[in-house]
Amino acid sequence: MQSIIEVEKVTKTIKGRLVLKDVSLQVPAGQIYGISGPNGSGKSMLLRVICGLVIPQSGRVEVFGYRIGTEKEFPPETGALIETPGFLPGYSGMDNLLFLAMIRNQITRDEIAEVIRLVGLDPDDPRPVRVYSTGMRQRLGLAQAIMEKPKLLILDEPTNGLDRQGVADIHALLMQLNQKGVTILLTSHSTEELQSLCGKTYWMENGILQAERE
């Protein structure tokens, strides 16, 4: 099986502290893999390294066969949601996604409206993101991650802050995307959540990644 994500022996030190220790991970095409672990264990850091947002001291990261940091700054055909998404607080959800979509100019206003509905928000809601609840921001962040129909999704705690219905909706959405061939790597504090969604789960502790279950 072809690996979409290949992480080999990645080490990251911040201010003299090792936060990723010799981390290796392969995510094959069409899979959903999950990482859980305590606060500060390095989950978000690993996802940032995979997305090229943080450059590791040593090791290799490849996504779709491209070396991240040298051949590509950001992984191609990838949608990412890493920690709290930064939106322009004075603009509506729709306007925020329209601004972001202008960078690549691949999708129409109608497609954005459709994806906003898909995550359970109203594309015609005129209220600025400033007044959105945590769960609404999270949903908008997911909409942004999936709107350009990526082949790979990298999601840091995608159901964080969502109510029970929201969690169920997002799980259904992720399963549906996966059935269409989207490869997904996500983190969660709930090992239960990961076990119901993922083909393989990992445990991260003190910067060390270990496979939990196939």
Ligand X SMILES: Nc1ncnc2c1ncn2[C@@H]1O[C@H](COP(=O)(O)OP(=O)(O)OP(=O)(O)O)[C@@H](O)[C@H]1O
Chain residues binding ligand X by CB under 6 A are 14-15, 19, 37, 39-45
Q: Which two tokens stand for residue 142?
A: 């997911």
Within 10 Å of residue 27's Cβ, how many Cβ atoms? 22
Site for Mg ion in 5-44 (CB under 5 A): 43-44
Q: Least Å distance between CB 78 and ligand X?
A: 19
On whether the CB atoms of residues 127 and 90 are closer than 8 A, the answer is no
What does the alpha-carbon distance between residue 166 and residue 146 come to, in Å, rounded to a whole number?
A: 16
Q: Least Å distance between CB 107 and ligand X?
A: 30
Q: Whose Cβ is closer to ligand X: residue 64's or residue 202's?
A: 202
Q: Whose Cβ is closer to Mg ion: residue 101's or residue 194's?
A: 194
| Nearest one of 161, 150, 135, 139 to 185, comparing CA atoms | 150
Q: Least Å distance between CB 95 and ligand X?
A: 29
Q: Whose Cβ is closer to Mg ion: residue 44's or residue 178's?
A: 44
Q: Which two tokens stand for residue 16?
A: 């003299």
Strand, helix or coil for residue 185: strand
Judged by beta carbon distances under 5 to 8 A according to partner kind, the member of ligand X, Mg ion, none in contact with residue 19 is ligand X
Q: Least Å distance between CB 11 and ligand X?
A: 13
Q: Least Å distance between CB 205 and ligand X?
A: 9
Angle at 59 between CA 55 and CA 62, to 5 degrees: 80
Q: Whose Cβ is closer to ligand X: residue 19's or residue 61's?
A: 19
What does the alpha-carbon distance between residue 50 and residue 70 come to, in Å, rounded to a whole number?
A: 13
Q: Whose Cβ is closer to Mg ion: residue 101's or residue 185's?
A: 185
Judged by beta carbon distances under 5 to 8 A according to partner kind, the member of Mg ion, ligand X, none in contact with residue 85 is none
Q: In this structure, what are the phi and psi dihedrals at residue 160, rounded to the nearest 5 degrees?
A: -60, 130
Residues that bind Mg ion (CB under 5 A): 43-44
